Amino acid sequence: SGGTGTAPGAASGTAPGVTVRVPAKVNVQLAVGAARPDGFHDLASVFLAVSLYDEVTAAPADRLTVTCEGPDADRVPLDRTNLAARAAELLAARHGLDPAVRLHIRKAIPVAGGMAGGSADGAAALLACDALWGLATPRATLLDLCAELGSDVPFSLVGGAALGLGRGERLTELPVGGTFHWVFAVADGGLSTPVVFGAFDRLAEGRDIPVPAASPALLDALADGDTTALAGTLANDLQAAALSLRPELAATLAAGTGAGALAALVSGSGPTTAFLVKDADAATAVAEALLASGTCRATHTATSPAPGATVLRAGTPA
């Protein structure tokens, strides 16, 4: 897809528009430093993209609109605060265009679940609008725009695995030597990321917080594709904070490990929980056990790494 809008489907009467598929993420390590004077925290975040995807379609329209479908669609804002809408406005402003586009989100990533669903839609909308409008914006510029939208947005564009420093937005891609299998347990409701960081600050009060750094053993486990080694090194500094706000998540974590998961952790700021398992069969078994335990609302099985935001289908531009 060269960003010109000429693509499979263009000739066959498909609805005009560009569809981009974008993955969720899990932080296999999330090291959180002390609060900075600006209120943000320095992070060492090891992102891994997983095969749980949202899709964003951009189509020509008179004005900017956002619609959303999926089990959590009622919890997604459809105004200008939606990250997909903000991405369209940012890209349009950059090129002196009017952001006249219809954005439709097919949402599978849990909302406010710690899997960067909103960030994913921002990255997807950026790429979809860039293709729809035939802009061919350089990759480096797209990454800058992503960082402006939010700390997790650049990774949604890049996918795979990456170490994020700063607020998580300064990315270095990481090698991954195999496929990892996951189960995700979706909790009722969401958790606000700033609220979880606030709980982290309260728990950290009076303690010495080390400068965040990536774990060499964890990076080796990723590079080797070694599930057992990765299971032994998973770490999320926000987990205690998320559990302090949602103590019932402890039962979900225990249900997953009880069912044979090699490791369990809160995904990002939660409340989604992530379970690393040996293979696809183990994923099915752990997902069934988690649902049967009654400690979660839904489960997803997924593999990683997954590719970043990708144009799936480009119809005829208006």
Catalytic residue ranges: 25, 152
117 is in an annotated binding site: yes
11 is in an annotated binding site: no
242 is in an annotated binding site: no
| Burial degree of 43 (CB within 10 A; 0-12, 13-18, 19+) | buried
* Rounded-to-integer distance, Cα 92 and Cα 111, Å: 26
294 is in an annotated binding site: no
Q: Would you call 266 helix, strand, or coil by DSSP? A: strand
114 is in an annotated binding site: yes
User: What's the closest the beta carbon of residue 240 comes to ligand ATP, in angstroms?
Assistant: 17
Residue nearest to ligand ATP (CB): 118
| Burial degree of 94 (CB within 10 A; 0-12, 13-18, 19+) | middle
| CA distances for 67 relative to 79, 102, 271, angstroms | 9, 8, 25
User: What's the closest the beta carbon of residue 228 comes to ligand ATP, in angstroms?
Assistant: 27
Q: Two tokens at 260?
A: 């044979």
User: What's the closest the beta carbon of residue 10 comes to ligand ATP, in angstroms?
Assistant: 27
28 or 289, CB closer to ligand ATP?
28
Q: Two tokens at 121?
A: 């839609």
Which residues fall within 8 angstroms of residue 216, CB to CB, at 6 or more apart? none
Which residue type occupies 226? D
* Rounded-to-integer distance, Cα 123 and Cα 147, Å: 10
User: What's the closest the beta carbon of residue 84 comes to ligand ATP, in angstroms?
Assistant: 5
* Rounded-to-integer distance, Cα 152 and Cα 267, Å: 13
Q: Please, are residues 23 and 121 in contact by the beta-carbon 8 Å criterion?
A: no
Q: Which residues are near ligand ATP by CB under 6 A?
A: 76-77, 81-84, 105, 111-119, 121, 152, 190, 193, 268-269
* Rounded-to-integer distance, Cα 17 and Cα 43, Å: 37
Strand partners, 72: none
Compute how many other C-beta atoms are within 10 angstroms of the C-beta atom of residue 140. Answer: 8
User: What's the closest the beta carbon of residue 201 comes to ligand ATP, in angstroms?
Assistant: 16
User: What's the closest the beta carbon of residue 85 comes to ligand ATP, in angstroms?
Assistant: 8
225 is in an annotated binding site: no
155 or 282, CB closer to ligand ATP?
155
116 or 259, CB closer to ligand ATP?
116
| CA distances for 108 relative to 58, 120, 272, 313, angstroms | 18, 11, 13, 18
21 or 227, CB closer to ligand ATP?
21
How big is the chain, counted in residues? 318
* Rounded-to-integer distance, Cα 15 and Cα 8, Å: 12
130 or 227, CB closer to ligand ATP?
130
5 or 160, CB closer to ligand ATP?
160
87 is in an annotated binding site: no
118 is in an annotated binding site: yes
Residues annotated in a binding site for ATP: 110-120
Mark the binding-site residues, compressed into ranges: 110-120
